[in-house]
Amino acid sequence: MAVPKKRTPSSRRDRRRANIFLKEPQLVKCKKCGKPTRPHNVCPECGFYKGKEYINVMAKIEKKQKVVSSEKEEIVEEVKKPKKAVKKEPSKK
């Protein structure tokens, strides 16, 4: 097992680590909708890449709206149901 003979100075260590940092992602404009997207990836807004539609975004949105509307209807039905009256017995003192 290799063991260093001498301690590495902090300046040398920091010079070596100078290139290790986070970079901002490079963005390009989508040719279809103009929103910023990552290069060589399908646009999450419109679902197009190189002029072809790969993801049908509108179908996903409509599916979500159906689920939300059905959940709302269930909640409304629960609210409209009459609650059972609870009989309270008189307390004995």
Tell me, what's the pLDDT at 36? 93
The ranges assigned to domains in the chain are: 25-79
Query: Is residue 38 a contact partner of residue 27, using CB atoms and an 8 Å limit?
Result: yes
- Residue from 48, 16, 12 nearest 30 by CA: 48
User: Which residue type, as a one-letter code, is found at position 52?
Assistant: K
Tell me, what's the pLDDT at 84? 66
The position carrying tokens 């260093």 is: 4
Tell me, what's the pLDDT at 68? 83
Query: Is residue 45 a contact partner of residue 30, using CB atoms and an 8 Å limit?
Result: yes
Q: What is the pTM of this model?
A: 0.46
Separation CA 35–CA 47 (nearest Å): 11
CA 54, 57, 58, 61 torsion: positive or negative? positive
Residues in the chain predicted with pLDDT less than 50, given as ranges, are none
Tell me, what's the pLDDT at 27? 93
Tell me, what's the pLDDT at 85? 62
Angle formed at CA 35 by CA 34 and CA 39, multiple of 5 degrees: 95
Tell me, what's the pLDDT at 45? 85
